[in-house]
Amino acid sequence: MNKKTTIAAIIVVAIVVIAAVAVVLMQPAASTNKKIIYWTQIAPVQQKAALLAGTVDGAVGWEPYCSDALNDGTGSVVVWSDQVWPEHPCCVIAVRYSDAFPNNPADNQLVARVVKANMVATNWIVQTINAGSGTNYTSLIQMGAQFSGIQASVVQSALGHIEYSNQLTPAVKAAFANFTGMFADLGQISNLAGYPNTTAFANAITNTSYLAMAPDIQPSATILGSVHLGYLNGDLHQFARVVAMNTSLWGGKTLFQDYGVNVTSPAPYANGGAVMDGFAAGSIDMGYLGCPPAILKRINANIQIQIVSLVNSEGSAIIGKTPINSLSQLEGKIVATPGPASIQHLLLLYYCNLNGYQLKLKGT
């Protein structure tokens, strides 16, 4: 090696070493006055496998994946979401407002009819779950198993943890405002889309007019129009859509068709953020998604949507790898979450703070 090459090599190595030292020194000092629980991002559908593999020690996800891990003993419940936030809203139906849709009374009718069909399907689900047996109950469980790819017994357990309801009550709006405030505290949003406070924003993002129209809407003998509807893959929170799309329950046509709407859907989305991207790309007119990504991307990406119906409340849980069944046992361990934009992540963050734990990304 000649002299020049040696000098060049030394300079390169020196730069790398200096950069590495600088990066290490620039890291914020680790907080030592709080107990720490670590998080990492793993999709709920993969969380049970991660628990089994020992990749993580806990997980926070949605149904049916919580029950899937609990039923075979892989996981144990730390806390159900309704124990932390009773009747907290979760999934919603949102509509995107654009020049194309819904910009006239006929389009508004279509939105109201989708809301109505969802409402009828929700009522059918609630009645069927309450009945607890019979042909309809068997059909419901089979539909859930087929849609989520999970065993029927797991679906049965999961349905016991989800509250299906549609009304956007003041409590629901207050919860939206609370979530928005949490995102602001986390620095994930830096404004409120021009609204003075979280309550004003929560009121603006919800539109109850379609729910108000729904009781007067009757089935239609003809198809009045089409709606592109997005939804999440395998999420039993959005079971009303699955039931409404089933033709055998509603006389050979879907419930949406019964109310005069021809619903088409692209491939199911992986998460609520992707549903919002579907809105932005103009791929869908309406969509089922969790309220947190709806709030986040309404503000940050200025995607002009409004929430027009609740789909479910509750139905999430923090679970530990058996025998872990309390938050204190998760201290210093790793919990999988669907990601910081999810309600499940907020639940874990809130519950950690409530119990004096700091939630920290593993490795930082």
Q: Does 186 bind another protein (CB under 8 A)?
A: yes
- Decide: is 115 part of the binding site for another protein (CB under 8 A): no
Largest Cα–Cα separation, the chain: 88
Q: Does the protein bind another protein through residue 307 (CB under 8 A)?
A: no
Number of residues located near another protein, criterion CB under 8 A: 49
56 is an interface residue for another protein by CB under 8 A: yes
In contact, 38 and 330? CB cutoff 8 Å: no
Bridge-based pairing of strands 225-230 and 261-264 is parallel
For the segment 10-49, give every residue that binds another protein (CB under 8 A).
12, 20, 22-24, 26-28, 40-42, 46, 49
Q: Which is nearer to another protein, 34 or 253 (CB)?
A: 34
The rounded distance, in Å, linking the Cα atoms of 47 and 24 is 31
In angstroms, give the least distance from the CB of 307 to another protein. 16
Q: Which of 5, 32, 33, 104 binds another protein (CB under 8 A)?
A: 5
Helix (H, G, I), strand (E, B) or coil at 178: helix
**Under rule CB under 8 A, residue 69 binds another protein:** no
What is the spatial distance between Cα 18 and Cα 282, in angstroms, rounded to a whole number? Answer: 48
Burial level of 312, CB count in 10 A (0-12/13-18/19+)? buried
CB nearer another protein, residue 128 or residue 342: 342
Range in contact with another protein (rule: CB under 8 A) among 71-79, 80-88, 122-130, 186-194: 186-194
We find the least distance from the C-beta atom of residue 289 to another protein, in angstroms, to be 12
Nearest residue (CB) to another protein, 46 versus 76: 46
Residue with Cβ nearer another protein (20 or 171): 20
Pick from 35, 55, 76, 246: which binds another protein (CB under 8 A)?
55
Residue 191 C-beta: closest distance to another protein, Å = 12
Q: Judged by CB under 8 A, does residue 299 bind another protein?
A: yes
Q: Give me the DSSP letters along 140-159.
A: HHHHHHHHHT--HHHHHHHH
List the one residue out of 31, 10, 155, 168 whose CA is nearest residue 93. 168
As measured in angstroms, the least distance from the Cβ of 91 to another protein is 17
Closer to another protein by CB, 108 or 322: give it. 322
- Do 214 and 112 form a contact (C-beta atoms < 8 A)? yes
| H/E element, 78 | strand 75-80
Instruction: Select the span of 115-123, 218-226, 292-300, 318-326 touching another protein (CB under 8 A).
Output: 292-300
The CA–CA distances, whole Å, from 63 to 57, 74, 128 equal 19, 15, 18
Residue 219 interacts with another protein (CB under 8 A)?
no
* Residue 230: half-sphere exposure toward Cβ, Cα within 13 Å: 27
CA 94 from chain center: how many Å?
A: 13
Which positions ≥6 away from 356 have C-beta within 8 Å? 34, 35
Q: Which stretch binds another protein (CB under 8 A): 65-73, 141-149, 181-189, 199-207?
A: 181-189
User: Site mask, another protein, residues 340-359, x = CB under 8 A?
Assistant: xx------------------
Q: How far is the CB of 277 from another protein (least distance, A)?
A: 8
319 Cβ contact list (under 8 Å, min separation 6): 51, 58, 59, 60, 61, 66, 69, 70, 75, 76, 77, 78
Are the C-beta atoms of 232 and 270 separated by less than 8 Å? yes
Stretch that binds another protein, among 137-145, 209-217, 221-229, 299-307 (CB under 8 A): 299-307
Which residue ranges make up the site for another protein (CB under 8 A)?
Answer: 2, 5, 8, 12, 20, 22-24, 26-28, 40-42, 46, 49-50, 53-56, 183, 185-189, 271, 273, 276-277, 280, 293, 296-297, 299-303, 334, 339-341, 360-364
